[in-house]
Homo-oligomer: A and B are copies of this chain.
Amino acid sequence: MTLRSRPPNPMPDRAGQRPRVVIVGAGFGGLTVALQLAHAALEVVLIDRHAHHTFQPLLHQVATAELEPSQIAYPIRQALRRATNVRFVRAEVVDLQTQQRRVETSVGSFAYDSLVVATGSRPQLDRVPGARSHAFALKTVSDALAIQNQVLSRFEQALHTADPATQQECLTVAIAGGGPTGVELAGALAEWMHTVLVKDYGQLDCRQIRLVLLHSGADLLPGFHPRLQRYAHRHLQRRGVEVRLRSRVQAVTATAVHLADGTVLPTRTLIWTAGVVASRTDRRSDRLPLRPTLQLLADPQVYALGDVAGDLPMLASTAVQQGGTVANKIERPLPFRHRPRGAMAILGRHAAVMQVGRLSATGVVAWGLWLAVHLLLLRGLPQRLLTLLHWWQSYWFRDRIAQGLWSSAPPQSDRFAPHRFL
């Protein structure tokens, strides 16, 4: 990490000002803190590299063209319009100088009295050779659109190649990671590829379409009840997903995934959902050692929450709870007590798994609850209506409204020179 050239610092002198809280990251945790500190006797600065907050639990539906970005992304400035003491800064953070209590960003430097680190997690691509160049992630809206483009472009390519091996590579999608993200994405991709894309690419042999879910553990959905794990496994298999347990990716190339057991899976598309593993002994870990109050062991002025913090499940509900606690605590420190809200994952049409405490459900009931909960968690009425409309089109017509509209610009070339015709 290096310091970049900095424009003049736009911040005024801090003497005699209200205490300033700087929050880095406007995900579920950071945005919750900012909204809860609105109207407090504090100055709040919220920094994020994106102009929008992303409702990550629905990203897999953007990747499969079921939803559009507007349904799961909210402009942060709009969310904060009434929070007059909160200032949003769209910037890249380049350094956290905890000694000087200062955050360096691409647009200037911000002094703080309290710092909240809510920077989330990132896909762990560095340990597997080739993964950084060839694997797709699913953390941002751009990631989701990139996956959509990739699947569509490879189907297009399969149409125009005569080589059967290339065709098979194009029509195979591999997913690494059998946690909720990987499982939901596998279910959504199975539905999209087998019921929608086959209509658009009728000239292809549909039996060549192959979807492989690679999971390093012995069971999908770690942490879920074994009954739900088995249900998810069976359900995905029935929808045409090849589930490979105890499979570890060893290397990735442009045309294949190499597994630890020697298997070579020919594919041009690997999506990496294995995420960040909490590991305090590992220097690469993004997770930070914390006090029970979510303050850093080393520096009580610094709070951490969400995926970046401790060993709790990396769930939106955890981050939101922690956000509430941190917002209160910035005034009077109290220990954070995690109240698990349960977990759920959608697998496809009429199928989901969910558990809340000792209760668990599968099938149509879980599916309906999954839809209802996610609809209610969306931020605004327009977003909910838009989502309903897209879901309806997808459910009733087995079709997509918003497919393939964001494809990257085609290679630049001149238009034909008209004089050739004359």
- Where the two chains meet, the residues of A that have a C-beta atom closer than 8 Å to any C-beta of B are 1, 7-8, 10, 49-52, 68-70, 73, 75, 77-78, 81, 87, 89-96, 98, 106-108, 117, 119, 122, 141-142, 152, 156, 159-162, 199-201, 203, 283, 285-289, 296-299, 302, 380, 382-383, 385-386, 389-390, 393, 399-407, 409-411, 413-422
Partner of A382, one of B52, B78, B389: B389
Query: Which 10 pairs across A and B sit closest by C-beta, in order of nearness?
Result: A70-B402, A77-B200, A107-B160, A51-B404, A69-B405, A49-B410, A73-B405, A8-B162, A382-B401, A298-B422
The answer to whether B199 touches A405 (Cβ under 8 A) is no
**Can you list 23 A-B contacts with CB-CB less than 8 angstroms, sorted by A residue number?**
A1-B414, A51-B156, A68-B69, A68-B402, A69-B402, A75-B200, A75-B400, A75-B403, A75-B405, A78-B399, A78-B403, A92-B411, A95-B420, A96-B420, A119-B416, A122-B415, A141-B406, A288-B418, A288-B422, A296-B422, A299-B421, A302-B421, A382-B389
Most buried by B among A51, A407, A413: A51
Give the Cβ gap from A96 to chain B, nearest Cβ, in Å: 5
Give the Cβ gap from A72 to chain B, nearest Cβ, in Å: 9
Contacts A108-B160, A288-B421, A418-B285 given; indicate if A386 touches B389 (C-beta within 8 A): yes
> Which residues of B lie under 8 Å from residue A413 when comparing CB positions?
1, 92, 94
Contacts A52-B405, A161-B7, A402-B70 given; indicate if A96 touches B389 (C-beta within 8 A): no
How far is it, in angstroms, between the C-alpha of A390 and the C-alpha of B68 when the chains are bound? Answer: 13
> Which residues of B lie under 8 Å from residue A416 when comparing CB positions?
1, 93, 95-96, 119
The answer to whether A78 touches B405 (Cβ under 8 A) is no
The answer to whether B407 touches A50 (Cβ under 8 A) is yes
How far is it, in angstroms, between the C-alpha of A418 and the C-alpha of B286 when the chains are bound? Answer: 6
Partner of A162, one of B10, B70, B287, B411: B10
The answer to whether A405 touches B1 (Cβ under 8 A) is no
How far is it, in angstroms, between the C-alpha of A317 and the C-alpha of B413 when the chains are bound? Answer: 28
Give the Cβ gap from A124 to chain B, nearest Cβ, in Å: 12
How far is it, in angstroms, between the C-alpha of A70 and the C-alpha of B67 when the chains are bound? Answer: 10
Residue of B nearest to A106 (CB): B411
The answer to whether B405 touches A70 (Cβ under 8 A) is yes
The answer to whether A200 touches B160 (Cβ under 8 A) is no
Give the Cβ gap from A276 to chain B, nearest Cβ, in Å: 11
> Which residues of B lie under 8 Å from residue A200 when comparing CB positions?
75, 77-78, 81
Residue of B nearest to A283 (CB): B419
The answer to whether B421 touches A296 (Cβ under 8 A) is yes
> Which residues of B lie under 8 Å from residue A400 when comparing CB positions?
75
> Which residues of B lie under 8 Å from residue A417 when comparing CB positions?
1
